[in-house]
Structure 1
Amino acid sequence: MTAVPLTWLYVPGDRPEVVSKALSCGADVVVVDLEDAVAPDRKEYARTATAERLTDPQPVPVHVRINALDGPLASPDLQALAGLPGVSGLRLPKVTAPQDVVRVATRTPEARPLPPLHALLETALGIEHAFAIATAHPALRGIALGEADLRADLGVRGDAGLDWCRSRVVVAARAAGLAPPPQSVHPDTRDLDTLAASCAHGRALGFLGRAAIHPRQLPVIERAYLPTPEEIEEAEQIVKAAATDEGAQALPDGRFIDAAVVSAARRTLSLADRDRP
Structure 2
Amino acid sequence: MNAADGARAGDTGPVLTWLYAPGDRPDVVAKALRSGADVVIVDLEDAVAPERKGYALDATAELLTERPPVPAQVRVNALTGPLARNEVERLAGLPGLAGLRLPKTRSPQEVATVAAWAGGGPGGAVPPLWPLLESALGLERAFVIAEGHPAVAGIALGEADLRAELGVTDETGLAWARSRAVVAARAAGLAPPAQSVYPDVRDLPGLAASCAVGRALGLVGRAAIHPRQLPVIEAAFAPTEAEVAAADEILAAAATAAGAQALPDGRFVDPAIVAGARRTVALAERFR
Per the normalisation by structure 2, the TM-score is 0.92
For the pair 1:115 / 2:127, whether they are aligned, the reply is yes
Structure 1 CA distance for aligned equivalents of residues 186 and 268 of structure 2: 25
Q: Deviations over 1:24-57 (max 9, x none)?
A: 1100000000000000010000000110111111
**8 Å Cα contact 1:12/1:18 also seen in 2:** yes
Gaps of at least 5 residues in structure 1 are none
For the pair 1:41 / 2:41, whether they are aligned, the reply is no
Tell which has more relative contact order, 1 or 2 (C-alpha 8 A, sep 6+): 2
Q: Give the structure 2 partner of residue 98 of structure 1.
A: 108
Q: Deviations over 1:127-147 (max 9, x none)?
A: 111111010111111100000
Q: Give the structure 1 partner of residue 3 of structure 2.
A: none
For the pair 1:23 / 2:33, whether they are aligned, the reply is yes
Structure 2 CA distance for aligned equivalents of residues 271 and 130 of structure 1: 26
Shift of 1:68: 0.4
Structure 1 CA distance for aligned equivalents of residues 152 and 44 of structure 2: 20
After TM superposition, which residue ranges in structure 1, 4 or more long, deviate above 4 angstroms? 109-112, 245-248
3-state DSSP of counterpart to 2:154: strand
**8 Å Cα contact 2:195/2:220 also seen in 1:** yes
Identity of aligned residues (%): 66
Code of the aligned partner of 1:168: R
Aligned residue among 77, 101, 107 for 1:67: 77
Q: Give the structure 2 partner of residue 89 of structure 1.
A: 99
1:164-243 alignment, distance < 5 Å: 164-243=176-255
Shift of 1:156: 1.1
Q: Deviations over 1:196-236 (max 9, x none)?
A: 11111111111111000000111111111110001111111
Structure 1 CA distance for aligned equivalents of residues 12 and 212 of structure 2: 21
Shift of 1:99: 0.9
Shift of 1:2: 6.3
Gaps of at least 5 residues in structure 2 are 1-10
Code of the aligned partner of 1:214: H
Q: When the two structures are aligned, how many residues end up with a matched partner?
A: 276
Per the normalisation by structure 1, the TM-score is 0.95
3-state DSSP of counterpart to 1:268: helix
Code of the aligned partner of 2:71: P
Q: Give the structure 2 partner of residue 137 of structure 1.
A: 149
Q: Which moved more, 1:104-113 or 1:251-260?
A: 104-113
